[in-house]
Amino acid sequence: MIIKLWINDQEITKEIDGDAILLDFLRDHDCYSVKRGCVTSNCGLCTVIIDDKPVLSCSTLVARADKKHIYTLEGLQEEAREFGECLADQGAEQCGFCSPGLVMTVLAMVKELKNPSDNEINEYLSGNLCRCSGYMGQLRGIKDYLQKKGGAGK
Amino acid sequence: MRTINKFVKVKTLAEAYELNQKRSNVVLGGFMWLKMGNQAIQTAIDLSGLGLDQIEENDEGFQIGSMCTLRDLERHEGLDEYFQGAVREAVHHIVGVQFRNGATVGGSVFGRYGFSDVLTCLMALDCQVELYQRGIVPLKEFAQMKHDNDILMRVLIKKDGRKISYQSQRHAKTDFPVIAVAVARKENQFFVSVGARPMKAGVIEKSGWLPASSRSDREIEALADWAKDQFIYGSNMRATSEYREHLAYVYIKRGVKEVLGNDH
Amino acid sequence: MRAVNQAVRKKDAMLLVTGQPVYTQDLAPKDCLIVKILRSPYAHALIKEINTEPATKLPGIECVLTYKDVPDQRFTLAGQTFPEPSPYDRLILDQRVRFVGDAVAIVAGENEQTVDKALKRIKVKYEVLEPLLDFRTARDHKVLIHPEANWKSLCDVGADNTRNLCASNEEKNGDVDEVLGSCEWVIEQTYHTKANQQTTMETFRSYTYRDQAGKLTCVTSTQIPFHVKRILSNALALPESEIRVVKPRIGGGFGAKQTAVTEMYPALVTQKTGKPALLVYSRRESLIASAPRHENEITVRIGADKNGIIRAIDMVTLSNTGAYGEHGPTTVGLSGHKSIPLYGKVEAFRFKYDVVYTNVMSSGAYRGYGATQGTFALESAVNELAEKMKLDPVRIREINMVKEGAVMPAYYGETLNSCALDRCMAKAKEMIGWQEKYPGIELNNGKVRSIGVAMAMQGSSIANVDTAAVFIKVNDQGHYDMKIGATDMGTGCDTILAQIAADCLNCSVEQISVSGVDTDVSPYDSGSYASSTTYLTGTAVVNTCETLVEMIRKKGADQMGCPIEDVEFDGDRVHRVSGNESITLRALANVQDQDADLSATESYCSPVSPPPFAVGMAEVEIDTETGAIDLIDYVAVLDCGTPINKSLVRVQAEGGIAQGIGMALYEDIVYSREGRNLSNSLMQYKIPTRLDVGRIRVDFASSYEPTGPFGAKSIGEVVINTPSPAIANAVYNGVHVHVRELPITAEKIYNGMKQHKNKSN
Ligand SMILES: Cc1cc2nc3c(=O)[nH]c(=O)nc-3n(C[C@H](O)[C@H](O)[C@H](O)COP(=O)(O)OP(=O)(O)OC[C@H]3O[C@@H](n4cnc5c(N)ncnc54)[C@H](O)[C@@H]3O)c2cc1C
Ligand code: FES
Ligand code: FES
C-alpha cells in the first residue's frame, strides 16, 4: 500500500508492506536515535511523538501512521540539547541507549503536565526503563530542566 | 514474527464485519498484544476511521468507543469523578503512558485476558458491550462467551450510583497483577469481581448482606470469606493459588470497607 | 588538582542525549547479511539429522551453517586473560545441545523476513536425552553435560568433566571446626541466590566484515575487545593477526559483555562468505541464551564468643554454571574471598566450593561477580547471629569489621592500605536515622516500617593478572591524543581517565582527546571488568603522563640548550628555573628534528587489588496482612578511595543499587519442568522501573588508596552487593521473617508470617 507521512516535517510518500513496523521504517529513514530494547512494549526506548503524544514505534504499524506527523529526536535537536545538558550535568546519561526514548517522553510530558510532582514525573516515565542510572540522576536532571524552562518561559 | 499480508482501513462497520468472517483476517485494536503473536494475518482490519475513539457521557451513563485508548480512560474526568478514581486506578499501572496511548479498550475487553485489570474493574460495574452482530450484551455474559468473529463497537457503563473500589497487587509496580479485585456497592447490593487468579475475572453479586444495622468487622470478614470462596484460583510464576486466595480475601474485605465509606 | 574529584560532564554526553548514531547497529553497513540462529527446543539432545537444503534453496539465503561447518576445537567465551580459568568446553555449533535455546544452526541472508522463513525450513531430528536440571544433584550425576574427549581445562581449578565439575576447591586458615566448637554462639544456615540477567538496554550485537587489508573485522558491543580477538581466533581457527576488533559506544555492560556472546556467529559467516554480516540478538535471545549471574546455594556457619566477636567463618558454595563454564571457576571464588575478609577478627575460616554443569543456560559475569551471592549469604548469617544474641546488627558489625592496616588471610594475604568502612557505617547510620528507627515501627494502617543493614566489599582489578596500557601523544596543536584499550560502556571511563591525565599534565579535560577501542591501534587492555578501569588503567595513565612529562622537559631543555634539571613544565610551556626563557608545548610539538614524536606508552599490572567498601541500609514498608513490600528509602555510603568524578561515581552507585534492588525483590530466571526458560521477555523478567526503587541516597566516606591513581579505588561493582541482605534484614526487623531465598517476594514474607501465627496458635 502507498502511504504519505511526515518524519520531522519532511514529507514521505512510499509503498509499504502491511506489516511494516514504524520503528524499522524510521531507522530505514536515518532516524537512528530510535532504538529497540524489547519485543513486548515494555522498555520505551522506541518512543516517538505523534499528535503530541508519546507513542511506542515498535508497536505501531506504519500503515497506521498514514497522514500523520511523526517526530523523532532527529527533529527535536534543540530541545534535546537543552534537556540533555541537564541530564549530562548529573552524569545521568550513562550508556545513553535509553536516552532518546527518555528525552522524547520528557518532551511530551512537559506539554501534557503542569508543574508535575516527583511522583507524577515518575509515573509519566514509568514506561521508560533504564538499567544504568538507577533513575535518581534522571529525576534530578528532569527537575533542573523543568525549573529552567519554568524560569525562562513565564 | 507476525506477518500481515494486507492492511485495510475500513469505511464502515459492515465492511469490517464482513472481512472479519474469514478466519485469517483480524481486527486491530492497539496492536500491543497482537504484535507479540506469530500468526500469519491475511487482512488486518483497521477500525480507526470509524469515529470509535470517543467517550460520550450523558445522564444515563458512559459510551466508550472500542478504539479509545487506555490513556483516554485514565484521563477522562467524568469517569474519574463518577467512579471515584477506580477506573484510573485500574489502568494506570499498565506498563507506561506510551503503552496506554496505544492499547485500546476494544482490544482489552475483547481479549478477555486472565490478567486484565480493565475487565476486572468493568465487571463490577453495570457494564455492557455493544457488538455489531449480536447487539448489546452484558459484560458478564460476554466474558464467558467464546471468541467469535463479531466486532466490539462500544463499552457501555450505566450510571447507577455504584460506589466502587479497585485494588491490585503486583511485584514490580507496572507488572501484571498477582491479583486484581474490584468491589462495588449499590445500597445493600455488593458486586465483587476478582481477576488475575490468574484466570479471567468473574463477578458475583450479593444482596441484603450487611444491612446498615450490622456492619461490624466480623460481618465484613464473613462476607469477604464467602466471596473469595466463590472463585477458583491457580498458580503461575507470579504466585501460588493459596496465596492468591488469601489476597482475594484481604482485598475484598478492604474493598467492602472502602465502599461502605462513612456508612461503616 | 583541578579535574580530579570534580563533576566533569562525560565526553560523549551530548552525542548520546541527542541520539547520534554511535552504537554497533547504527554503524553497520546497510547491505550486511542478516544473521540469525536456530535454537534447540530441548534441554539436552543430540542432533541426529539436520537437513538445511530447503532453507538454503530460498532465494536471498546466503548460507546455512551447522555443526558440520565449524572447527572441532573447543574454547571458552569468557573474557579473561590467557590462560583462562574457564574451561574450553564449547564449539560454535555442537552436535550435542545442552539447554533450551542452545544454538543449532546459523542462517545468513539478505533480509530478516527471508532469514525467518529459512529458519522454519531447517529440518532437525533430535535424539532427546535426559536433562539434568537440578544443580544440587549435578555433581557425579549419571547424566554428563560434557562427555566429549576434547573438553579441556587450562588452569588447575579442580574441573572434571566426567563428574560435571567446572571447578572445585577448598581453602582454609586455622581449624574452623575447633574454633566453632569453642564458640558460645554458632549460626548455621543455607541461602539461595538466583540467576539474574544484566538486562543491558542494548542487547548483544556484533557485525563483521573484511577490511581493506583483508582482516576479519568485528565491530561489537563488548567490554573485552582484546579478549574477543583471541576468542575469535580460537573459535574460527584463525591467527590473531588476521582479526581486528572495534568497540563503538555500547549500550550497557554490567559484565554481560565480558562474555563474547554473539561475535562468533557473524564472524563465521563472514569467514565463509567474505561478506559483511550483522547479528542483533532479540530481547528474547538475550534472555534465554546469554550469560547471567550464577545461581548459588551457600551454607554458612559462623561462630562468635559471648561478646559477639566473630571468631570463625565456614562457607560452602555450590554454584550453577549451566551448560557451559564461562566465569564459573572465578565467580565462585569471590563468594568467599570478597565476603569473609569483611570480618577482621576471624581466627579461622574455611571456604569450600563446587561449580557444576547443568542443562540450563550457561552463566557468566554480572556486576559483583560472585561477591554479591556471598555477601547475601554471609551478611544474612551475621544478621541472624545478631538476632540470636539480641545485638543490634549495626553494633555487631562495628565490633567486628576489618580495619585499615589489617592483613587479610581470606583475601590473598593482602594488607588493607585504605579502609573507611567504620566511617561508612557511622555516616549511613546517621543518614537513615538508625538510632530512632531500629528495628521498626507499626503504622496505624496495618503496615510496619522497618530498617536493615549490610556491608560489602569488592576488589579493584585482578592482581597480577590484568594489564592496562595507555598511549599518549602530543599533537600539532599542543593538545593530547590519548589511546586506551579500556572500554567505556557508559560508565564514563573515557572521561575519568582524561580527568586523571589532565591533572597529571596540568591541562584541561578538553585538551585530552580519547579514542574508542580498535585492537589494531589501541594499546592492550585486558578489558573493563573486575572493577579495574579507574584503578588499573588510571594508574597506567598516571605512569604514561610521568614519562611523557619527562620527554617534554627533555626536549624543552634541548631546545633551550640547558640541562633537564633546569626546566619545569607547567602544562603550557617548558621554562627555565634559572632564567626567563621558555618554549610552548605547541612549539615543541612542531619542532622538526631527529627525535621521535612526543609520545609515551606505559602499562600497568597491579600486585594488589585494594577493596572498596560499602554500607547499605534499607527502609521498607510491609503490609502485615499480605506481605506486600515497598522499598521506601535506601542509603548507601561508600569508600571508593578518591572519587575521580563526583557525579559519575554517584550515578554508578545509584545504578548498581537499583540493580541490587531488582535482584532482592523480584528478578528471577524461572524454568519450566522441561527446562524451558519462562523469563524470556521484559514482560516476564521484570527489572525495576522508576516507581520501584523508592529513594536511593548515596554518600561517600573516602579513604586514600596509596596504590591507586590520586588515591582512587573502584566503585562499579561493590554497590550491587548490599541491597539483598539489607532488605532481607529490614524484613526481619519488621515482621520477624527470614527470607533466605531470593527474591524476597510478598508471598514468601506472607508465608513466613503465617508460620509464626500457626506456631503461636
Ligand atoms: C507487556 C504488556 C503488559 C500488559 N500488562 C497489562 C496489565 O498489567 N493489566 C492489564 O489489564 N492489561 C495488560 N496488558 C494488556 C493490554 O492492556 C491490552 O489489553 C492488550 O494489549 C490488548 O489491547 P490492544 O488494544 O493492544 O489490542 P490488540 O492487541 O490489537 O487486540 C487484542 C485482541 O482483540 C481483538 N480486537 C481488538 N479490538 C477489537 C474490536 N473492536 N472488536 C473485535 N475484536 C477486537 C484483536 O483481534 C485481538 O484478538 C498488557 C499487555 C502487554 C503487551
Ligand atoms: S522497543 Fe521496547 S517498548 Fe518499543
Ligand atoms: S543510561 Fe544505559 S540504559 Fe539508561
Ligand closest to C12 (CA) is: 3
Distance A90 CA to ligand 3 centre (A): 13
Which of residues C557, C576, C604 is at a domain's end? C604
pTM of the full structure: 0.97
3-class DSSP state for residue C241? helix
Q: Where in chain A is the domain with CATH 1.10.150.120?
A: 76-149
Residues C649 and C719 in one domain: yes
pLDDT digits (tens, 9 = 90+) for C301-330: 999 999 999 999 999 999 999 999 999 999
When mean pLDDT is compared across B30-44, C80-94, C518-532, C537-551, the lowest value belongs to C518-532
pLDDT digits (tens, 9 = 90+) for C612-665: 999 999 999 999 999 999 999 999 999 999 999 999 999 999 999 999 999 999
Q: In sequence order, which residues have a C-beta less than 8 Å from that of residue C582 and are 6 or more positions away? A: C560, C573, C574, C575, C576
- Per-residue pLDDT, A152: 47
pLDDT digits (tens, 9 = 90+) for C720-758: 999 999 999 999 999 999 999 999 999 999 999 999 888
- Per-residue pLDDT, C757: 87
For B163-263, CATH number? 3.30.390.50
- CA dihedral (C385, C391, C397, C400) positive or negative: negative
Residues C531 and C516 in one domain: yes
pLDDT above 70 covers a percentage of chain C that reads 99
Which residue, C315, C303, C313, C338, is CA-closest to C169? Answer: C315
Is the confidence at residue B211, as pLDDT, over 90?
no
- For the residues of C583-652, what is the DSSP string, one character each? EEHHHHHT--SSSPPSEEEEEE--S--PPPEEEEEEEEEEETTT--EEEEEEEEEEE-BS-SBHHHHHHH
- C731: domain CATH number is 3.30.365.10
Residues C161 and C247 in one domain: no
Residues C103 and C206 in one domain: yes
Scan for cell 562468635, then name that residue: C304
Is the confidence at residue C1, as pLDDT, over 60?
no
Chains that touch B (3 or more CB pairs under 8 A): A, C
pLDDT class of B247 with cuts at 50, 70, 90: very high
3-class DSSP state for residue C242? helix
A60 part of contact set with chain C, CB < 8 Å = no
**What phi and psi, each to the nearest 5 degrees, are found at residue C644?**
-70, -45
Of B169, B172, B237, the CB nearest to C626: B169
Residues C678 and C757 in one domain: yes
Residues C212 and C307 in one domain: no
The per-residue pLDDT of chain C, averaged, comes to 96
- Return residues 19-78 of A near B (CB < 8 Å): 19, 39-42, 44, 47, 53-56, 58-61, 63-64, 66
Do the Cβ atoms of A41 and B35 come within 8 Å?
A: yes
Same fold, B55-158 and B163-263: no
For chain B, the structural domain boundaries read 3-41, 55-158, 163-263
pLDDT class of B214 with cuts at 50, 70, 90: confident
Atom of ligand 3 nearest to the CA of A131: 3
Residues C125 and C150 in one domain: no
pLDDT above 90 covers a percentage of chain C that reads 95
Atom of ligand 2 nearest to the CA of A44: 3
Residues C516 and C588 in one domain: yes
Which of residues C379, C414, C449 is at a domain's end? C414
- Per-residue pLDDT, C107: 98
CB of C492 within 6 A of ligand 3: the answer is: no
B9, B13, B28, B32: which to mutate for ligand 1, most atoms within 8 A of CB? Answer: B32
| Segment holding C63, helix H or strand E | strand C61-65
B33 part of contact set with chain C, CB < 8 Å = no
Do the Cβ atoms of A63 and B46 come within 8 Å?
A: yes
Query: Are C69 and C272 within 8 A, CB to CB?
Result: yes
Distance of CA A63 to the CA centre of its chain: 20
Spell out, as residue ranges, where chain A has pLDDT lower than 70.
151-154
Asked if residue C254 belongs to a domain, the reply is yes
Ligand 2: list residues with CB < 6 Å. A 36-38, 41-46, 56, 58
Residues C621 and C724 in one domain: yes
- Per-residue pLDDT, B204: 94
Asked if residue C299 belongs to a domain, the reply is yes
Asked if residue C661 belongs to a domain, the reply is yes
Asked if residue C398 belongs to a domain, the reply is yes
When mean pLDDT is compared across B78-87, C134-143, C338-347, C594-603, the lowest value belongs to C594-603
For A76-149, CATH number? 1.10.150.120
Distance B99 CA to ligand 2 centre (A): 9
Query: Are C416 and C404 within 8 A, CB to CB?
Result: yes
Residues C23 and C115 in one domain: yes
Q: In sequence order, which residues have a C-beta less than 8 Å from that of residue C749 and are 6 or more positions away? A: C622, C627, C629, C731, C735, C737, C739
Scan for cell 575487545, then name that residue: C225
Ligand closest to A39 (CA) is: 2
- Return residues 10-69 of B near A (CB < 8 Å): 28, 30-32, 35-36, 41, 44, 46, 48
Is the confidence at residue C182, as pLDDT, over 60?
yes
- Per-residue pLDDT, C289: 98
Question: Ligand 2 atom 3: the closest Cα is on which residue?
Answer: A41
C275-313: burial string, b at 16+ Cβ within 10 Å, e else: bbbbbbbbbbbbbbbbbbbbbbbbbbbbbbeeebbbbbb
Domain tally for chain C? 4
- Return residues 80-99 of A near B (CB < 8 Å): none
3-class DSSP state for residue C659? helix
Closest-CA distance of chain A to residue B30, Å:
8
Do the Cβ atoms of B3 and A19 come within 8 Å?
A: yes
pLDDT digits (tens, 9 = 90+) for C453-473: 999 999 999 999 999 999 999
Q: How far apart are CA C533 and CA C516, in angstroms?
A: 14
Q: What would you report as the CA-atom Rg of chain C, rounded to the nearest whole angstrom?
A: 27
Task: Report CA-CA distances (Å) from C110 to A101, C59, C107, C275, C301.
Answer: 29, 9, 10, 11, 59
Residues C279 and C359 in one domain: no
Question: Ligand 1 atom 3: the closest Cα is on which residue?
Answer: B95
With respect to CATH, is domain A2-74 assigned 3.90.800.10? no
Asked if residue C206 belongs to a domain, the reply is yes
CA of A104: which chain B residue's CA is closest? B98
E strands present in C466-591: 468-474, 480-484, 512-515, 517-518, 567-569, 573-576, 582-584
What's the domain range around C472? 468-604
Residues C158 and C299 in one domain: yes
Closest-CA distance of chain C to residue B109, Å:
20
- Helix runs in C100-218, H state only: 112-121, 176-181
The CATH architecture to which B55-158 belongs is 2-Layer Sandwich (3.30)
